[in-house]
Amino acid sequence: MSSLPYDKSSPASIEQYAKLLVGHTFQDVLNGVVGKCQPSQEKASEYSNPNRKGGLGNLLEEVYFEYKANSESKADFDEAGVELKATPYEYNKNGSAKAGERLVLSMINYSGEIEPTLEESHVWQKCKLILLIYYLRDKTLKSNLQYPIDFVTLFTPSETDKAIIANDYKYIAEKVMSGKAETLSEADTFYLGACTKGSTAEKSKVKQFYPPHTLAKKRAFCYKNSYMTYVLNDYVMQGVITYQQEEKYEPILKDASELEDKTFATFIVSKINHYAGLTDKELCSKFDREYNNNKAQWTDLAYRMLGIKSNRAEEFRKANLTVKVIRIEENGKMRESMSFPPFKYKELIEEEWENSNLHNYFEETRFLFVVFKRSGNNYVLKGAQLWNMPLEKLDSTVKAGWDSVVNTIKAGIKFEIVETANGVVVKNNLPKKADNEIIHVRPHAQKRYFKFTDGTVIGDGNESDANQLPDGTWMPHYSFWINNDYIEKQLDKNLLD
DNA sequence: GCATGATCATGC
DNA sequence: GCATGATCATGC
């Protein structure tokens, strides 16, 4: 019997052995440059098959750590209580690092009872101590076996994080127990998400254990991508990478005990609602902010009410939560629709809906609406509401709106140049706001810039304000917007009157 | 009065 | 200079 090169009952020993991987590639492991095994070539191609999810993790498990990969609900290094997770990271254009994937922890059980609390759960037993092995997903490399392993560390969430994760778990478990797993969405929770797992096809849905036993998509517990990006930057790379800029995120939650009798969702909403009834002017004076009605004023106030000095909340970054201030006019209407980041035409038409930017954005992003209502010259705070796009709307109405935009671009946008008293207006045949209940598209640029294929230029902008259509025409950046009247309908009644 | 096209403001 | 959030302005 050969002995292992590490003590499988000791987390420290496992971590120490794992750290020898840093600076090596998966190919090095197969070649025995690090570790001691050399499997056959067939095995190498099997592990590196990009269609085999978790292949690189299995490689480390079987070749480097010398145990058989399993999909059991107990931890990989059972005796030490350590779960191994090999996971990719990437660099953004601005040089900052981000997690390449959400970290999938374990399947949500639909075939039997689910534990009501995190502490009692299988997922926590399995994942309270994780050996994180981060490799750089460098798509310029020919084989994923060439990816370098750059960071290795044991990880367990902090006490405040765990309090929020426990909240999240409870929320998911309660939905499952009430037989409503089909309504789960990753954006329902903060750090621990319920992500879809496996095919999204209708036929792959499974019957729920809890009545009324409706069919639901298979889902898994995961740490959200946004949470893992935080873990990567503020924990894994901390002290390893020295050039990273100083982050100035502030926590809203100062101590885990603040959540003893409430959820994090209730906690933040009540922090805002505490000030309901005050005008923007009164709030400005309360928080020592100049009252100047500039665009940032109401968002600034929202963060001040949450108890932080900057507009960078640590929890919101980790949870992929976006604060949106909504101002209601005296007639009860929102004047403006809500914008999102612009898209690139050529990239948009290459996307599949299920993996599209818009789909992923709404599936993963949660919103904190902070609602003000006009009263004379001021806006009065009505309160806050957490919201995310309902899943059934995302896959029906939003998808239909997205499809028709994509199809119009694919077919070739038709332009009409109209002369008016104030110059030319460029009209197009993209779907209009009234064509879809939820979304529409609008320009989202600094300046107008069109350059048609015949060389005609319209607008004061330049190419940085625009991007190219499939036929080469330059058209200003566009983005998706949520219709103001749809958002109005989503708001709690008490926020409107 | 609102939809649509156009543009502004701030932070990094 | 870009990413993101937000608002303006005109014609119908």
Given a cut of 80, whether residue A248 has pLDDT beyond it is: no
CB-neighbour burial class of residue A29 (10 A; exposed 0-12, middle 13-18, buried 19+): buried
Taking the C-alpha atoms of residue A453 and residue A61, their distance in angstroms, rounded to an integer, is: 55
Beta bridge partners of A106: A221
Taking the C-alpha atoms of residue A157 and residue A249, their distance in angstroms, rounded to an integer, is: 17
Average pLDDT over residues A288-293: 86
Average pLDDT over residues A320-336: 91
CB A398 within 8 A of CB A387: no
Q: Which fold has domain A11-163+223-236?
A: ECO RV Endonuclease; Chain A (3.40.600)
State CA A252 to chain mean position distance.
Answer: 19
Interatomic distance A242 CA / B6 C1' (Å): 43
Given a cut of 70, whether residue A1 has pLDDT beyond it is: no
Q: Quick: pLDDT tens for A451-487.
A: 999 999 999 899 999 999 999 999 999 999 999 999 9
Given a cut of 80, whether residue A73 has pLDDT beyond it is: no
Q: Which fold has domain A264-387+485-495?
A: ECO RV Endonuclease; Chain A (3.40.600)
Give pLDDT, residue A119: 94
CB A425 within 8 A of CB A404: no
| Residue A54's pLDDT band (cuts 50, 70, 90) | confident
CB A362 within 8 A of CB A407: no
Those nucleotides of strand C lying less than 7 Å from any protein Cβ are 1-8, 10-12
CB A2 within 8 A of CB A67: no
Q: Quick: pLDDT tens for A21-53.
A: 999 998 888 888 888 776 555 566 677 776 677
Those nucleotides of strand B lying less than 7 Å from any protein Cβ are 2-12
Given a cut of 80, whether residue A203 has pLDDT beyond it is: no
Q: Residue A279 has what DSSP assignment?
A: B
Beta bridge partners of A467: A475
Which nucleotide across the nucleic acid strands is nearest to A92, CA versus C1'? Answer: C3
Residue A414 contacts by C-beta under 8 Å, 6 or more apart in sequence?
A428, A429
Please give the protein residue whose CA is closest to the C1' of the nucleotide C8. Answer: A336
Q: What percent of chain A has pLDDT over 90?
A: 56
Angle at A486 between CA A481 and CA A489, to 5 degrees: 150
Give pLDDT, residue A65: 85
Q: Quick: pLDDT tens for A383-400.
A: 999 999 998 899 999 999
Give pLDDT, residue A33: 82
Give pLDDT, residue A444: 94
Tokens (6 digits) for A495 = 């926020």
Give pLDDT, residue A212: 87
Taking the C-alpha atoms of residue A418 and residue A427, their distance in angstroms, rounded to an integer, is: 7
Domain with CATH 3.40.600.10 in chain A: 11-163+223-236, 264-387+485-495
Please give the protein residue whose CA is closest to the C1' of the nucleotide C3. Answer: A341
Indicate the SS3 state at residue A43.
helix
Give pLDDT, residue A447: 92
The owner of tokens 């101002």 is: A327
Q: Is the peptide bond before A148 cis (omega within 30 degrees of 0)?
A: no
10 Å Cβ neighbour count for A372?
22
Higher pLDDT, A97 or A338: A338
Indicate the SS3 state at residue A468.
strand
Q: Quick: pLDDT tens for A186-201.
A: 888 999 999 988 766 6
